[in-house]
Chains A and B, each alone.
Chain A
Amino acid sequence: MKPERETMSTSELISKITELEGQIVKLTKQTKSDVSKLKTQQNRADEAVNDLKVIQQQLLQQEKLASLGQLTAGIAHEIKNPLNFVNNFSELSMDFIQEIEEELEKLNDSTEKENILELLSDVKSNLHKIKHHGSRADSIVKSMLMHSRGGTGTMDPTNLNDLIREYVNLAFHGMRANKNPINVDIRLDLDESLSKININAEDFSRVILNLSKNAFDAMRDKIAVKGSAYKSILAVRTKDLGDKVLIVVEDNGPGVPDEIRDKLLIPFFTTKKGTEGTGLGLSITHEIIKTHEGSLEIESELDQFTRFKITLPKTTT
């Protein structure tokens, strides 16, 4: 018997070749699409690796911040001791001058006595100034210590307006003391009829710090674009809403584009370059507000303003 192959006719051969050609084309297409799939997958992997690198950098940053926090706590403590002496001795000296004045009153009037009393009153006023500025420094050291300690988690009746005044001020001076300070007009409009509300002052002060810091960073970017014609303003308002309290932190910076607004609260989301931002500030802020059973709303108009609206219930369960 002759082999089958030899019995194939030309037409059969052609059709076989066409069939094989078709298969080759199909396979080539398949391979091409596989290669492109592989390429997209590789791109995705590269992106993931890049993301991981960024997160690693951010974690490093966090680590650094944590050790910086410990360092700050140590320094704050070391400053607190000498500061206590300054405050104690100035207070004590004021008491003594009071006593000296009382003793002097028993003496007959004379020009010398007059002179001594006058000098003593100057010394007393100087001591008042030492005590006053010492107390200022003391309250800064106290807030530094408060921040480096972990939250105790207790909700205590707190004067919200006082807390806002203190921490907006602290955020402002922190910004001024760091690199690229900017001029900001701080406008506080606080509802003084507001009674104390139950909050964790330590955690909530972080909210005020974070939002203020964000505003300063955003406004700094706008200054870089617009120059000195633009005047940056940070406005913080409180309002008594009956069973709730409204806190508004608003800046007149570049605003937040719609497509980004929803992402602002996602952990590690940041518009800041490289390791400038951890992408955690706003997510921590949101977290703290949630533990206070409150809500956070973001309103913004490009190039006009960004407004963070916090609503807190007056009584938490």
Chain B
Amino acid sequence: MKILFVDDERDVEALFRQKFRKEIKSGELELSFAFSGDEALDLLGTENPPKFVYVFSDINMPGMSGLDLLEKIKGKFPQIKVSMISAYGDTENYNKAINSGAQGFFTKPVDFEKLRNEIKEISRA
């Protein structure tokens, strides 16, 4: 299963690759990383059906915000699941995300067990 993480902090890649080391090794998961909303849209490309099943995106990013990215992805590929990961767990951001069709909302620091369970459930479905 291909998953895309979008965050302007580059160390997120090392962290997630290490956290999901076993799943990546076993071939269960394939992770890609984008460091801006534009980069994420480039990676998603125009292929239909898309190669990614799930996108996890930060909200506060320079340029395109995670919420804008969410709307763009949902407009183009409604079948891709998108969840937000944000340090700002306020109700305003939460409501905006859910109303725009986000699958879930994770607050930073990320609870990796919760994230792992979410991914497992999607890969089972």
Contacts and interface: CB of A to CB of B under 8 A. Distances in A.
A131 to B, nearest CB: 12
B9 interface: yes
B1 interface: no
Contact of A84 (B14, B18, B88, B109): B109
Contacts of A88: 15, 19, 109-110
A302 to B, nearest CB: 48
B44 to A, nearest CB: 25
Interface in B9-39: 9, 11, 14-15, 18-19
B87 A80 contact: yes
A92 B87 contact: no
A81 B87 contact: yes
B87 A77 contact: yes
B26 to A, nearest CB: 15
Contacts of A81: 9, 87, 108
Contact of B11 (A77, A80, A85): A85
Contacts of A84: 87, 108-110
Contacts of A89: 11, 14-15
A164 B90 CA distance: 26
A80 B14 CA distance: 18
Overall SS of chain A's interface? helix
A295 interface: no
Q: Interface extent on B, as a size class?
A: 10 to 19
Interface in A77-110: 77, 80-81, 84-85, 87-89, 92, 96
A92 B108 contact: no
A80 B15 contact: no
Nearest to B60: A77
Contacts, number: 26
A127 B110 CA distance: 19
B18 A80 contact: no
Contacts of B11: 85, 89
Nearest to B7: A81
A92 B109 contact: no
Contacts of B108: 80-81, 84
Contacts of B9: 81, 85
A81 B60 CA distance: 12
A85 B87 contact: no
Chain B CB count within 10 A is highest, among A80, A88, A92, for A88
Nearest to A78: B87
A84 B108 CA distance: 8
A92 B109 CA distance: 13
A221 to B, nearest CB: 41
A234 B88 CA distance: 36
B115 to A, nearest CB: 12
A223 to B, nearest CB: 42
A87 B19 CA distance: 13
Contacts of B109: 84, 87-88
A89 B110 CA distance: 12
Interface string B74-89: 0000000000000110
A87 B110 CA distance: 11
A252 to B, nearest CB: 42
Interface string A198-216: 0000000000000000000
Interface of A: 77, 80-81, 84-85, 87-89, 92, 96
Interface of B: 9, 11, 14-15, 18-19, 87-88, 108-110
8 contacts: A81-B9, A81-B108, A84-B109, A85-B9, A88-B15, A89-B14, A92-B15, A96-B18
Across the A-B interface, the 10 shortest Cβ-Cβ residue pairs: A84-B109, A92-B18, A85-B11, A88-B15, A84-B108, A80-B87, A77-B87, A81-B87, A92-B19, A88-B109
Given A77-B87, A89-B15, 10 more contacts: A77-B88, A80-B108, A81-B9, A81-B87, A84-B87, A84-B110, A85-B15, A88-B15, A88-B110, A92-B15
